[in-house]
């Protein structure tokens, strides 16, 4: 068991000889040794793996039935000596003058329980009713196995007392393929990890459906799902088996084996029990479903404890360093189109409601305003309105660089919007004079705009700090836009999380299509649009915007004309803050856990543990301190899995204390 709520599990396919229980038990024991070496807490084997699924009428021979119990005894004994986790193996078991297709749950030399198969396929290639009885036909609730009384039935759940959040439910093959699988009821009763011992044969197209079935069931049950199917060593008289193994978690496929392998399989993955617990708590309809008529069922809890399971680092699952950004070419196209459809649909509805007015938008030559302008253009196209209804303003100030100004002008020209340019410096100068403010200690008497600009560029880098100077420019831009028409907002959710916006300035608008899009995704979207929707000079402009260093450009540039205000140098890399934001908001992860996950993620740029701790502390401090800005956000659509809207996903006191979260972050440094 990993720290931070991870459970290491495996789906295993041993070599097999049909009808040779001694050989099969030895192969199973060998895989348990491998699982022990890898720190696996749960191993799921295929259906009827002690005998082979394809024994047919041999199942009714007492010799095979007694042999299966002998094989089970070998696994229990060897497991008690060599494996410290839970193993689930399949065998035929004679009970109540009937034969049951059964899963035996074994832990450290102890039989925890026996779960019979509920639904027996008896169609097409399947003929299980010829040999087995369904679970509903059982009369006994206890069976004598290997000289001990063992719980028997489909009403068993197995709870680990020393690994929080782990309750195990077991079903067998066809049980998953029915309208209401036993695992659904098990999950509603508290099972967080579901195991399926299967013998699913291969034919064209079945693999896709099987994969979807397992993945979707893990999502419906908000659970981990471990699926192991028998391999190529089964009889091929009429069927071929591929040894397909899958591990899924809450709708996501974590690991999948190759089919038709001629070697034994041990597919290992780490399930995140803490994330599952958080999602179940938040999804209140999940808990309510347990009380829906016909869904409530009483289960017997079998308790156990694990000692000695020690998983070796690193995690056996991928921790996505960019959880908001899709991967894979097909997914990129699909996700991009979906994001734009959501943004455009939200803005189009709002514009229709207010009578399709002209809109005003500030275009800085940066990422956020570029994305908002692209969305505005697509919205106008969708509504059959002229793009000249977009009044796009570029508003150069004291910190504007030539590169961003040129890109803003070029972008507006390429997109065919009504372009306007307003130099805000004279207006800001007048306001500073009215306030009696001396920017950076400079007396404004005798200075006009040009002389002040020249003087500002001579300032040493260490003197370029003046919040009033920055805020006046930001609010002046918003004031001009608000007086020009229906204002389209441009700020993204990363800036809102960090409070990297000026209150009642770039923080405010009539509607903001970017409001729930993180900065890393904004970068990706603009890059994707550039490469797939444009060519020539327009494409080059967009790609240059993507490559431009992120900056609010409110402080004077240096003598070389380059910006002196790099956002990520001041507040940290956005890829880290987006990572922190995702895990903090989506799963409520503690700072210590976020640090652990960040250390497991493979960022293109390597970060030291000290860097991760530093920027996480910055994130926590700024997130708590900036809630007042998020409490009065304008409308805008939720696009991804998180939102900071005070009317939607996130409600938080503006004066909540961050001390305990910061203390945990410090503890994570040890």
Question: Is pLDDT above 70 for 666?
Answer: no
Question: Is pLDDT above 50 for 367?
Answer: yes
Handedness of CA 304, 308, 314, 316 (dihedral sign): negative
Joined tokens for residue 24: 């099969």
pTM of the predicted protein model:
0.92
Neighbouring C-beta atoms of residue 364, cutoff 10 Å? 26
Question: Is pLDDT above 80 for 3?
Answer: no
Phi-psi region of 416 (alpha: psi -120 to 50; beta: other; left: phi over 0): left
Mean pLDDT of 613-624: 96
pLDDT in tens, 245-264: 999 999 999 999 999 999 99
Phi, psi at 664, each rounded to 5°? -65, -40
Phi-psi region of 179 (alpha: psi -120 to 50; beta: other; left: phi over 0): alpha
Question: Is pLDDT above 70 for 665?
Answer: no
Number of H helices, E strands in the chain: 21, 19
pLDDT at 140: 96
632 is catalytic: no
Contact 196/173 with Cβ under 8 angstroms?
yes
Phi, psi at 142, each rounded to 5°? -135, 145
- Angle, vertex CA 26, rays to CA 22 and CA 29, nearest 5: 140
Work out the end-to-end distance of the chain between its first and last CA atoms, rounded to an integer number of angstroms.
20
Give the active site residue among 117, 378, 519, 629. Answer: 117
Q: In terms of Cα–Cα distance, which of 169, 238, 174 is closest to 200?
A: 174
pLDDT in tens, 199-208: 999 999 999 9
Question: Is pLDDT above 90 for 79?
Answer: no
What is the CATH superfamily name and number for domain 3-304?
Carbon-nitrogen hydrolase (3.60.110.10)
Report the C-alpha gap between 590 and 666 in whole angstroms.
Answer: 12
Mean pLDDT of 28-51: 97
pLDDT at 669: 47
249 is catalytic: no
Q: What is the dihedral of CA 71, 166, 590, 606, to 10 degrees?
A: 20
What does pLDDT average to over the chain? 94
Q: Show me where the domains of the chain are located.
A: 3-304, 329-667
Question: Is pLDDT above 60 for 410?
Answer: yes
Mean pLDDT of 632-650: 93
Is 536 exposed, middle or buried, given 0-12, 13-18 or 19+ CB atoms closer than 10 A?
Answer: exposed
Q: What is the 3-state secondary structure (H, E, C) of 636-668?
A: CCCCCCCCCCCCCCCCCCCCCCCHHHHHHHHHC
Report the C-alpha gap between 152 and 163 in whole angstroms.
Answer: 24
The region of weakest confidence among 264-268, 325-329, 470-474, 479-483 is: 325-329
- Angle, vertex CA 268, rays to CA 68 and CA 73, nearest 5: 20
117 is catalytic: yes
Question: Is pLDDT above 70 for 242?
Answer: yes
Using alpha carbons, list the distances in angstroms from residue 1 to 312, 377, 610. Answer: 10, 52, 26
pLDDT at 295: 72
pLDDT at 2: 60
CATH assignment of 329-667, given 3.40.630.10, 2.40.30.10, 3.40.50.620, 3.40.50.720? 3.40.50.620
Give the active site residue among 47, 128, 495, 553. Answer: 47
Q: Which residues pair with 42 in a beta bridge?
A: 9, 86
Using alpha carbons, list the distances in angstroms from residue 185 to 121, 175, 188, 287, 442. Answer: 20, 12, 5, 12, 72
Q: State what percent of residues in the chain have pLDDT above 70.
A: 99
Mean pLDDT of 314-328: 90
The strand ranges marked E within 125-165 are 142-145, 148-151, 156-160
Give the active site residue among 49, 107, 160, 173. Answer: 173
pLDDT at 331: 84
């Amino acid at each position: 068991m990993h720290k931070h709520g991870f459970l290491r599990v495996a789906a295993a396919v041993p070599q097999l000889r049909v009808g040779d229980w001694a050989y099969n038990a030895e192969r199973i024991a060998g895989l348990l040794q491998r699982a022990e070496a890898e720190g696996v807490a749960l191993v799921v084997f295929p259906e009827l793996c002690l005998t082979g699924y394809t024994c047919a009428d041999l199942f009714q021979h007492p010799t095979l039935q007694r042999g299966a119990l002998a094989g089970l005894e070998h696994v229990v004994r060897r497991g008690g000596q060599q494996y410290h986790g839970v193993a689930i193996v399949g065998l035929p078991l004679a009970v109540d003058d009937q034969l049951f297709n059964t899963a035996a749950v074994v832990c450290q030399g102890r039989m925890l329980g026996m779960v019979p198969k509920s639904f027996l396929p008896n169609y097409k290639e399947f003929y299980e009713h010829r040999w087995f009885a369904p679970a509903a036909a059982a009369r006994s609730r206890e069976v004598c196995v290997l000289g001990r009384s063992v719980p028997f039935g489909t009403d068993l759940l197995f709870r680990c007392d020393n690994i929080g959040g782990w309750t195990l439910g077991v079903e067998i093959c066809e049980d998953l393929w029915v309208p209401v699988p036993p695992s659904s009821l098990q999950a509603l009763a508290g099972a967080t990890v579901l195991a399926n011992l299967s013998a699913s044969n291969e034919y064209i197209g079945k693999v896709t459906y099987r994969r979807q079935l397992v993945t979707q069931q893990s999502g419906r049950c908000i659970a981990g799902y471990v699926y192991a199917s028998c391999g190529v060593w089964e009889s091929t008289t009429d069927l071929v088996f591929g040894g397909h193994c899958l591990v899924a978690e809450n709708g996501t496929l974590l690991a999948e084996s190759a089919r038709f392998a001629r070697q034994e399989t041990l597919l290992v993955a780490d399930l995140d029990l803490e994330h599952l617990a958080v999602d179940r708590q938040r999804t209140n309809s999940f808990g309510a479903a347990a009380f829906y008529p016909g869904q409530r069922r009483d289960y017997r809890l079998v308790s156990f404890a694990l000692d000695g399971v020690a998983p070796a680092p690193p995690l056996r699952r991928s921790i996505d360093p960019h959880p908001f950004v899709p991967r894979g070419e097909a997914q990129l196209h699909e996700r991009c189109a979906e994001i734009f459809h959501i943004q455009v649909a939200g803005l189009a509805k709002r514009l229709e409601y207010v009578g399709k007015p002209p809109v005003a938008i500030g275009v800085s030559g940066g990422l956020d305003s570029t994305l908002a302008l692209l969305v505005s253009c697509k919205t106008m196209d969708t509504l059959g309105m002229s793009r000249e209804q977009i009044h796009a303003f570029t508003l150069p100030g004291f910190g504007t660089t030539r590169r961003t100004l040129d890109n803003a002008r070029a972008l507006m020209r390429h997109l065919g919007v009504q372009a306007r340019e307003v130099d805000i410096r004279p207006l800001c100068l007048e306001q500073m004079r009215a306030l009696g403010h001396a920017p950076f200690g400079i007396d404004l008497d005798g200075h006009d705009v040009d002389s002040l600009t020249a003087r500002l560029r001579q300032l040493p880098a260490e003197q370029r700090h003046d919040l009033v100077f920055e805020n006046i420019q930001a609010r002046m831009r918003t004031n001009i836009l608000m007086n020009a028409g229906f204002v389209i907002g441009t700020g993204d959710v990363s800036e809102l999380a960090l409070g990297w916006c000026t209150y009642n300035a770039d923080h405010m608008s009539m509607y903001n299509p970017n409001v729930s899009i993180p900065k890393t995704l904004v970068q990706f979207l603009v890059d994707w649009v550039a490469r797939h929707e444009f060519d020539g000079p327009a494409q080059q402009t967009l790609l240059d915007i993507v490559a431009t260093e992120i900056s609010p450009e409110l402080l004077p540039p240096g003598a070389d004309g380059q910006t002196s205000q790099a956002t990520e140098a001041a507040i940290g890399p956005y890829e880290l803050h987006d990572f922190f934001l995702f895990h903090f908001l989506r799963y409520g992860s503690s700072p210590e856990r976020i640090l652990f996950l960040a250390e497991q993620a493979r960022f293109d740029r390597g970060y030291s543990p000290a860097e991760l701790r530093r920027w996480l502390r910055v994130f926590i401090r700024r997130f708590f301190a900036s809630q007042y800005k998020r409490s009065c956000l304008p409308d805008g659509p939720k696009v991804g899995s998180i939102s900071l809207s005070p009317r939607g996903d996130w409600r938080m006191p503006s004066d909540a204390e961050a001390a305990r979260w910061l203390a945990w972050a410090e503890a994570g440094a040890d």
